[in-house]
Structure 1
């Protein structure tokens, strides 16, 4: 299957939950939630809702935490925290 990454931002958490559920129902074996900065807590909430409420056959296969260096419009270098949560169907 093609793109299975959900980029988490400023929309309501349930939008990202629905995006994950849609990808799983379309046949994806893995779905990746990715967020930066203040959206990290929303990505974690969405992953937990998918695993514990909507699809009990899904587990967090991998969680990566790191920092990205970005250049702003005015040329400054800023570092943003980033999280990548890989959800997969249980074997």
Structure 2
């Protein structure tokens, strides 16, 4: 199952990556993000669902979690939230 990891690139890059996966025959695509990029992942999913592939894709499953990450600069542990949004072809 194809996955798209959301980072700091322009939103359109991630939207097009998801659309390309569906155009290449994928039935499901998972959008993953951590921390501050969670809202961007939601934006990507909604743009794909409502603008680019309107009526062709639905949200299949949403998983939220958190994980501990060690900050390399300080060596301290931090908890970072994560999200996985599965988009499924109708």
TM tier relative to shorter chain: over 0.9
TM-score for the superposition, normalised by structure 1: 0.91
The alignment partner of 1:27 has SS state of: coil
State yes or no: 1:7 paired with 2:5: yes
TM-score for the superposition, normalised by structure 2: 0.92
The alignment partner of 2:9 has SS state of: coil
CA distance in 2 between counterparts of 1:12 and 1:81 reads 21
Please identify runs of 4+ aligned residues in structure 1 that moved more than 6 A.
none
Please state how far the C-alpha of 1:66 moved relative to its aligned partner: 1.2
Please state how far the C-alpha of 1:76 moved relative to its aligned partner: 1.5
Within a 5 Å distance, the mapping from 1:44-63 to structure 2 comes to 44-56=42-54, 57-63=56-62
Gaps of 5+ in 1: none
Residue deviations 1:19-60 (CA, integer Å, cap 9, x gap): 000100111110000001111111000000000001121000
Gaps of 5+ in 2: none
State yes or no: 1:84 paired with 2:81: no
